[in-house]
A and B are shown apart, each in its own frame.
Chain A
Amino acid sequence: MKEIHLTTPLSIKDIKKLSVGDTIYLSGKLFTARDETHKKLLELKRKGKKIPFNPGEMVLFHCGPIARKEKNKWIIVSAGPTTSARMESLESKFLSSFGVKIIIGKGGMGKETLKALKKIGAVYTHFTGGAGALGAKAIKKVENVYFLKELGIPEAAWILEVSDFGPLIVTMDAKGNSFYEK
Chain B
Amino acid sequence: MVKISNKNIEEILIEGIEQAETDLPKDVIRALEKAAAKEKGLAKIQLKTILKNIKIASKEGIPMCQDTGIMTFYIEVGTEFKYRSSLKKIIDNAVKKATKEIPVRPNTVNPFTGENSGDNTGIHIPHIIWDIVKGSECTIHILPKGGGSENMSALWMLTPGEGFAKAEKLIIKHIINAGGKPCPPTIVGIGIGGGADICMHLAKKALLRKIGEHHKEKQVAKMERRLIELINKTGVGPMGMGGKTTVLDVHIEYAHRHPASFPVGLVLQCWAHRKKTIKFTKNGSIKIL
Contact = CB atoms under 8 A, between A and B. Distances in A.
Contacts, number: 121
A153 interface: yes
Most buried by B among A23, A82, A129: A129
Given A130-B50, A133-B57, A83 B104 contact: no
Given A83-B181, A106-B239, A169 B45 contact: yes
B106 A152 contact: yes
A83 B183 CA distance: 9
B148 interface: yes
Contact of A106 (B53, B64, B183, B271): B183
B118 to A, nearest CB: 8
B241 interface: yes
A41 B239 CA distance: 30
B202 interface: no
Contact of B106 (A83, A128, A129, A153): A153
Interface residues of B, number: 38
Given A64-B105, A78-B63, A153-B105, A128 B42 contact: no
Interface in A122-136: 126, 128-136
Interface string A100-112: 0000001110000
B181 A130 contact: no
B54 to A, nearest CB: 8
B100 to A, nearest CB: 9
Interface of B: 42, 45-46, 49-50, 52-54, 56-57, 60, 62-68, 103-107, 116, 118, 146, 148, 151, 179-181, 183, 239-241, 270-272
Interface of A: 21, 23, 63-66, 68, 77-80, 82-83, 85, 106-108, 126, 128-137, 152-154, 167, 169, 179-180
